[in-house]
């Protein structure tokens, strides 16, 4: 098997099952005890918990022989041999029972859990406290993972994935949400078109991501809107998976230029460029005259921490406002952190909207416009019932409406005699509104 098909290292990587080293696998009781002792060694010293990488690869189905190709590049997809193998639950429970649970440790697992088994993983007796949500991470590529076979996803598809995951997760436990990590390109490039790749894209995605139910994980550079790096040769990439994907793309019939285009869009090295601290040499990541391990993104002269600290309207300051909603005691904190996730049906308005509520004693309404067109979202109560909390563009306003609501009352609140409010959403707008009173339909 090509090494490029394997991704990452996990906490228990010395214990991964290996046919070449039959004594070094989790089925060996001595190996299990050694790994458990190693975890407890750290926890006994006060470590609060672990982010556990690639844990679902702990158990593998070992196959021998020659297998028919299932891709145009002549290779075989191995995902079905290394993920979610029968019996892995026994091992995960043993780890939790002997390490994490006795220490009351926080665990967040890189585990793509089938929906039907989610309660086993993050429920009251789950193996972990949280698992990352992968439901829309690779929405732009097929299930077999070829970066060069782009899936032309829609906002409707993204919305459905987010809504189903949020509703399912809150029923059984606590979620772990993210947009970027070391295995993904930058989110401003993946989820929005080039025309919106500016402050609007960073703040739009920040609003969506930070207002979901669960714990948000912010990756370095995401908080200032760092973007993909434009490279001109595959030789400039360090990531082994990128080189593997490039070879597969060419083998499938793409020209070298076409293959490189998709590497620029999807390479994991996009998220591994040096952090952009300021506009000095090497973006302040290292001193002038020292060559960093990977090229600095050319836009560091304008996209950097120092510049955004000085700009009250920057992506960085917007993230700080969103974090303050979660951390600072205030009227909306309980709804933002612990509120029930309630989807809002906006099909009658536009397929490019993602709108939902977070409901507690008070509620917040989150409205996201993923399109280059302005949209008007009818609301069920008078304009005075809503308190503007945050918006990424000043043109987004709540105002009286001359027309009755087009969205049903059960979705956004109780209808009333003066139901005459509307929310104007400019292109790529993200808005958070608060409401003191919660209706019976949405108060759970």
**Owner of token pair 């280059």:** 372
Q: Which residues are catalytic?
A: 53, 110
- Give the span between the Cα atoms of 28 and 14, in whole angstroms: 12
Smallest CA-to-CA distance from 262 within 148, 172, 364, 339 is with 148
């Amino acid at each position: 098997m090509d090494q490029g098909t394997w991704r990452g290292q996990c906490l228990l990587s010395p214990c991964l099952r290996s046919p070449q080293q039959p004594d070094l696998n989790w089925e060996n009781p001595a190996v299990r005890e050694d790994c458990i002792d190693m975890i407890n060694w750290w926890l006994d010293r006060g470590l609060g918990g672990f982010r556990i990488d690639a844990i679902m690869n702990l158990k593998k189905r070992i196959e021998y022989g020659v297998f028919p190709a299932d891709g145009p590049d002549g290779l075989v997809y191995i995902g079905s041999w290394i993920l979610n193998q029968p019996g892995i639950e026994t091992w995960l429970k043993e780890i939790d029972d002997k390490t994490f649970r006795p220490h009351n440790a926080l665990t967040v697992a890189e585990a793509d859990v089938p929906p039907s088994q989610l309660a086993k993983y993050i429920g009251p007796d789950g193996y972990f406290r949280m698992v990352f949500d992968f439901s829309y991470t690779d929405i732009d590529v097929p299930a077999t993972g070829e970066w060069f076979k782009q899936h032309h996803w829609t906002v409707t598809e993204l919305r459905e994935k987010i809504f189903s995951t949020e509703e399912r997760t809150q029923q059984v436990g606590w979620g772990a949400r993210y947009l970027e990590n070391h295995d993904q390109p930058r989110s401003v490039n993946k989820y929005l078109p080039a025309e919106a790749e500016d402050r609007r894209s960073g703040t739009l995605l920040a609003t969506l991501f930070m207002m979901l139910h669960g714990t948000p994980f912010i990756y370095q550079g995401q908080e200032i809107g760092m973007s993909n790096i434009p490279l001109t040769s595959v030789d400039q990439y360090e990531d082994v998976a990128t080189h593997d994907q490039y070879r597969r793309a060419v083998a499938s019939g793409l020209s070298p230029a076409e293959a490189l285009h998709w590497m620029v869009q999807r390479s994991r090295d996009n998220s591994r460029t040096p952090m952009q601290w300021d506009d000095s040499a090497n973006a302040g990541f290292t001193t002038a005259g020292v060559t960093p391990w990977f090229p600095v993104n050319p836009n560091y002269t304008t996209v950097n921490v120092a510049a955004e600290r000085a700009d009250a309207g920057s992506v960085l300051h917007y993230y700080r406002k969103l974090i303050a909603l979660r951390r600072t005691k205030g009227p909306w904190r309980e709804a933002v952190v612990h509120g029930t996730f309630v989807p809002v049906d906006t099909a009658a308005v536009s397929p490019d909207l993602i709108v939902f509520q977070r409901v507690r004693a008070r509620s917040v309404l989150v409205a996201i416009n993923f399109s280059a067109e302005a949209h008007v979202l009818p609301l069920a109560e008078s304009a005075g019932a809503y308190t503007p909390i945050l918006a990424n563009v000043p043109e987004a306003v709540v105002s009286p409406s001359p027309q009755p609501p087009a969205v049903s009352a059960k979705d956004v609140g109780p209808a009333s005699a003066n139901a005459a409010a509307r929310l104007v959403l400019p292109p790529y707008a993200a808005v958070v509104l608060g409401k003191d009173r919660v209706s019976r339909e949405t108060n759970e």
